[in-house]
């Protein structure tokens, strides 16, 4: 497997990272998972915009790294090097390359680009979900980004596995619905669409923002709304979105829900 580390194409086994790597020691960085459909990265510009926004908060110097044309070329290079010209998932990680403890000496940045083959299905997945009792979301300056510190989602994943669920829903510190372990959450009541606001500490998903805009463009009512679990369970449809697409939640506890084909068809239409 070939990867790209700071513009250099290497075999996976050749990658050497310092024990002082700040991404490893402090989670001092961000990442994006970018889906590639038929060889074309989906919503690439929006992924890079989110990375740049996060980097600005951490004062990371990413001007050289996150130039759109440069990243587009590097994606093509890694696709060719690994002979992956069809569907795939790419992971772009950036971290501060600096000395210092919690206070870094400077803002120089390194990056790593990896790719793996993927079968991106357009068939909606049906999932059984539950509510997490181990993880609570809190908003912060970086809660809307994908940081290199994802411990809460690991714990949520362990809880999901223990409960033998397909998906687990995370609440915020006030008991409002926030997100799931790896996706944003939407629900539909009587033809109206809702999703939690960023104030619940959820990730500002690329697909979340895209779908909100598309639904509004097609004349649907969409609102970012604070709700408790009880109101969520009154929904006609509940579904999740992330970079790979959309999944329907079919069941929470003993309550079952329908399938919202409008959102599914919109996401399937992304070129």
The 10s digit of each residue's pLDDT in 191-224 is 999 999 999 999 999 999 999 999 999 999 999 9
Q: How far apart are CA 215 and CA 254, in angstroms?
A: 29
- The predicted pLDDT at position 66 comes to 87
- Say whether both 102 and 197 belong to one domain: no
Give the model confidence (pLDDT) of 148-192 as tens digits: 999 999 999 999 999 999 999 999 999 999 999 999 999 999 999
Q: Which of 45-49, 61-65, 262-266 has the highest mean pLDDT?
A: 45-49
Which residue shows structure tokens 């709700």?
227
Q: How far apart are CA 263 and CA 72, in angstroms?
A: 28
Given a contact cutoff of 8 angstroms between Cβ atoms, the answer to whether 160 and 134 are in contact is no
Which residue shows structure tokens 């033809």?
191
Contacts of 150 (CB under 8 A, 6+ apart): none
Which pTM was predicted? 0.93
- Say whether both 92 and 155 belong to one domain: no
Residue 144 sits in a domain of what CATH number? 3.20.10.10
- Say whether both 161 and 76 belong to one domain: no
- Say whether both 255 and 130 belong to one domain: yes
Q: How far apart are CA 100 and CA 102, in angstroms?
A: 7
- Say whether both 245 and 175 belong to one domain: yes
Among 14-23, 119-128, 164-173, the minimum mean pLDDT is found in 119-128
Average pLDDT over residues 85-101: 94
The angle subtended at Cα 56 by Cα 54 and Cα 62, nearest 5°, is 90
Given a contact cutoff of 8 angstroms between Cβ atoms, the answer to whether 119 and 130 are in contact is no
Given a contact cutoff of 8 angstroms between Cβ atoms, the answer to whether 261 and 53 are in contact is no
- Say whether both 22 and 43 belong to one domain: yes
Contacts of 167 (CB under 8 A, 6+ apart): 127, 128, 129, 130, 160, 180, 181, 183, 240, 247, 249
Average pLDDT over residues 60-76: 91
- Say whether both 182 and 64 belong to one domain: no
Average pLDDT over residues 20-35: 95
User: Is pLDDT above 90 for 100?
Assistant: yes
- The predicted pLDDT at position 118 comes to 86
Q: How confident is the model at residue 251 (pLDDT cuts 50, 70, 90)?
A: very high
- Say whether both 236 and 129 belong to one domain: yes
């Amino acid at each position: 497997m070939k990867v790209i580390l700071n513009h250099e194409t290497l075999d996976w086994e050749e990658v050497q990272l310092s024990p002082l790597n700040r991404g490893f020691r402090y989670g001092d960085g961000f990442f994006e998972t970018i889906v590639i459909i038929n060889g074309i990265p989906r919503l690439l510009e929006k992924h890079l915009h989110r990375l740049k926004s996060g980097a600005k908060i951490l004062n990371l110097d990413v001007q050289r790294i996150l130039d759109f044309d440069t990243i587009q070329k590097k994606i093509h290079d890694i696709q060719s090097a690994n002979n992956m010209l069809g569907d795939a998932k790419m992971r772009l990680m950036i971290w501060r390359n600096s000395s210092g403890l919690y206070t870094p000496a400077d803002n120089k940045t390194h990056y790593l680009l990896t790719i793996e083959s993927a079968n991106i299905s357009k068939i909606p997945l049906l999932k059984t979900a539950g509510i997490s009792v181990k993880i609570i979301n809190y908003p912060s300056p970086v809660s809307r980004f994908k940081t290199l510190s994802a411990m809460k989602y690991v714990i949520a994943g362990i809880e999901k596995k223990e409960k033998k669920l397909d998906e687990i829903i995370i609440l915020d510190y006030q008991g409002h619905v926030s997100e799931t372990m790896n996706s944003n959450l939407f629900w539909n009541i009587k033809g109206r669409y809702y999703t939690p606001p960023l104030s619940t500490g959820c990730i500002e998903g690329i697909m979340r923002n895209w779908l909100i805009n598309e639904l509004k463009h097609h004349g649907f009512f969409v609102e970012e709304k604070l709700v408790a679990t009880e109101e969520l369970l009154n929904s006609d449809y509940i579904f999740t979105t992330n970079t790979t697409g959309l999944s329907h939640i079919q069941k929470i506890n003993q309550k079952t829900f329908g399938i919202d084909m409008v959102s599914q068809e919109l996401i399937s239409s992304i070129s």
